[in-house]
Structure 1
Amino acid sequence: MKNIGLKQRFGILLTILLSGSLFVSADTADDWDPITDVQKENFYIYIVFGQSNAEGYAARPLDEDKIPNKDLKNLIAYDNYENEDATGINDSHLGEWESVAEPNCRKCKHFQTAFSWVKTFGEEMLARNPGKKFGFIHVAVASAGIRLFDKALYATYMDGTQTNPSPDANAQKKAKYAYGGNPYQRIIEMAKIAQKYGTIKGILMHQGEADGWKSFWPSEVKKVYRDMLKDLSLKSSEIPLIFGEPTGGNGPIPNQDAIVTEGNAYYIPNCYKVKALDLPYIPNSKLHFTREGYVELGKRFAEKASELLVTTGIDGVSFSKGNIEVTIGKRSEGKFEIKSSVPLVKIRVFSLEGCCLANFDLNNLSSFIFSARLLTNKLVILEFVAANGAKKIVKYFDSTSCLVR
């Protein structure tokens, strides 16, 4: 963020007084400002929250990481007090848009974060989704347990009365300093501002190293997700929860599977796991990814988020890239013959809400029989994937009559 001189600060203050608005853009030199040039339908917002691997913890940003991307915006969500105990002058630009540059989560005087995967995620989203711009509500606290993000239980985390596990002292300090002691409320406040200028498209989470092995973790994640949807008037069918695995050094968190396993009591239908156990991590800590690991993690988050945008945001037949001609003919009751102009490696089946129902691996087949008896939904979305990465989406496929609506 640029240093703002006294004259410019007075101009901003005058703007606030005249407009009655508390929130103005901090990055006035950018070519695109989401406040003065509202593009709500093409400005997609993602909420990013969690602990250290959501903050960006291990690696210092390179010079190239610090270059702002004007098509990616971050809504500043942190306070910036003079002292670590949240006293003194609060030189905060809370609620102002800035172009994304690392470190993205916090650029404050104390508890500044390091390189994260958010800018990489955003740049990959730009490449995969031409014509769109992306913004972020980025609130994360290293070492934080999931209950710090619970709108009801955060207070016991902050006052130290929570047990099993006990709160992390550094997480308490960061939450008090940067987010007024209530990170969840800060997310909601910032997200409501963002909704004036863009459309929330998903919630990205990286959390669990602190308490993912506890039995309460799946239910807490489900509660936090549902609370966010309710407080922001969002629909679960339209807003996926996408979360990342921990490092291979940390090892898998079994409870993470509970929220993506259908039939489990804590199953979240529109929830997806991004694989990360194979990514490089720092040997000394074992908990944090290297810079290269964060870069790849951001790309993997973007791959999943883009896939979900495609399956929930089109009508009729659409081509993601390349050119695949697919014909579907009814062979017998519940079975269909599928012929493709190019060999296919995968068929994905989605509900109309964008939830993945089935994933079939093919061996470069261009003609085969597909059984609809495996499908429990009458109307589905079919995604055909070729070996060269080309995709074709067929929306509103009626699995009982072989009609494309």
Structure 2
Amino acid sequence: MKLRLIAATCLTLLSLKSFSQDKNFYIFICFGQSNMEGNARVEAEDTTAVNSRFQVLQAVDCGDRGRIKDNWYTAVPPLARCTTGLTPADYFGRTLVANLPEKIRIGIINVSVAGAKIEVFEKDTYQSYLATAPGWMKGIAAEYGGNPYARLIELAILAQKSGIIKGVLLHQGESNPNDTLWTKKVKGIYDNLIRDLKLKPKKVPLLAGELVNADQGGACAAMNKIIATLPQTVANSYVISSAGCASSPDHLHFNAAGCRLLGKRYGEAMLSLLGYKLSDTTIH
């Protein structure tokens, strides 16, 4: 009996060790619509020399890429669903690993739904929004089990076994133009994330990017005035400028160059919040 007890204790300790948190593995939750999902075409420079310290927790199975959901991989795009493109999260992560100490790794979780209003992430009312959504959007949601918010939480809880959640990245708003309640809706989602993941809001900032800027002829640039007020509603939130970030011809999406610049700005903002200065302009 005593030997069995010792053996059981050893197995428990081994199990705990296999799921121990690495305090130097910084996890970031990303969500939004098509720009965060990755609309820009991936170019050759985006797939080469990706530092293995930058990881993505796969949200869906991508058999043709050899990726299985719920597993960590080097963050070679796409970082969302299998057929998506470049996202600001790509160069957010690259900027962090290029400027943080070698011992620190970066992990990304990305659950985004192209074309969707912010309501698709509302914990208790997403069903009513999806009920009237077009079939293609329902198909995207179905890849996340029909509930994007729940999938985001599921991945985040899994990620917490490996590292520490350090922030939330949002890029959304094209489908909520002129919605004066947008900041309140974002706060509700952010508060739910904090509560459901047992986080401390003062330690988990929310970074929200502007939509394609007026200087690029942004079709929804007026929404940036509403996004600018987010810090008035969410205390630990910061708005990332899209000024000068190049647009695709539709003036709704950033092209690859625009994604790179916007992602770098997300990264620079997070570096500052983490207490680091930008030390290297070379991104790997």
State the TM bucket, normalised to the shorter chain: 0.7 to 0.9
Contact 1:79 1:179 in 2 (8 A): no
Which amino acid is the alignment partner of residue 104 of structure 1?
L
Uncovered stretches (5+) of structure 1, i.e. residues with no partner: 1-18, 20-34, 83-90, 161-166, 262-266, 312-319, 323-405
Matches within 5 A, 1:375-386: none
Matches within 5 A, 1:57-206: 57-59=39-41, 61-67=42-48, 68-79=50-61, 93-107=68-82, 112-130=83-101, 131-160=103-132, 167-176=133-142, 178-206=143-171
Contact 2:209 2:241 in 1 (8 A): yes
Q: Which has the higher contact order (CA 8 A, sep 6+)?
A: 2
Q: Which residue of 2 aligns with 1:45?
A: 27
Q: Which residue of 1 aligns with 2:237?
A: 271
Q: 1:256 aligns with which of 227, 230, 237?
A: 227
Report the alpha carbon displacement of residue 153 of structure 1 after superposing the two structures with TM: 1.1
What's the secondary structure of 1:230's corresponding residue? helix
Report the alpha carbon displacement of residue 92 of structure 1 after superposing the two structures with TM: 7.3
Contact 1:212 1:255 in 2 (8 A): no
Contact 1:47 1:138 in 2 (8 A): yes
CA 1:132–1:298 in 2, change beyond 3 Å: closer, same or farther?
same
Q: Relative to total residues, which structure has the larger helix share, 1 or 2?
A: 2
Q: Relative to total residues, which structure has the larger strand share, 1 or 2?
A: 1
Larger radius of gyration: 1
Which amino acid is the alignment partner of residue 174 of structure 1?
I
Alignment length, in residue pairs? Answer: 256
Q: How big is each residue's C-alpha offset from its partner over 1:171-222, in whole Å with a ceiling of 9 and x where there is no partner?
A: 222111x101101000000000100110000000000000142233121100
Report the alpha carbon displacement of residue 117 of structure 1 after superposing the two structures with TM: 2.2
Distance 1:273 1:226 in 2: 18
Does residue 1:231 correspond to 2:196, yes or no?
yes
Distance 2:107 2:140 in 1: 23
Instruction: Name the TM-score, length of structure 1 as normaliser.
Output: 0.59
Distance 1:40 1:296 in 2: 29
What's the secondary structure of 1:293's corresponding residue? helix
Report the alpha carbon displacement of residue 37 of structure 1 after superposing the two structures with TM: 9.6
Matches within 5 A, 1:278-357: 278-283=244-249, 285-310=250-275, 320=277
Contact 2:19 2:161 in 1 (8 A): no
Contact 1:143 1:168 in 2 (8 A): no
Distance 2:134 2:243 in 1: 25
Distance 2:141 2:72 in 1: 21
Report the alpha carbon displacement of residue 81 of structure 1 after superposing the two structures with TM: 9.5
CA 1:321–1:141 in 2, change beyond 3 Å: closer, same or farther?
closer
Distance 1:92 1:36 in 2: 21
Q: How big is each residue's C-alpha offset from its partner over 1:23-59, in whole Å with a ceiling of 9 and x where there is no partner?
A: xxxxxxxxxxxx9796611000000100011011032
Report the alpha carbon displacement of residue 65 of structure 1 after superposing the two structures with TM: 2.0
Query: Aligned residues: percent identity?
Result: 35
Distance 2:21 2:74 in 1: 16
Q: How big is each residue's C-alpha offset from its partner over 1:327-374, in whole Å with a ceiling of 9 and x where there is no partner?
A: xxxxxxxxxxxxxxxxxxxxxxxxxxxxxxxxxxxxxxxxxxxxxxxx
Q: Which residue of 1 aligns with 2:5?
A: none
Q: Which residue of 2 aligns with 1:218?
A: 183
Q: Which residue of 2 aligns with 1:314?
A: none
What's the secondary structure of 1:211's corresponding residue? coil
Contact 1:245 1:252 in 2 (8 A): no
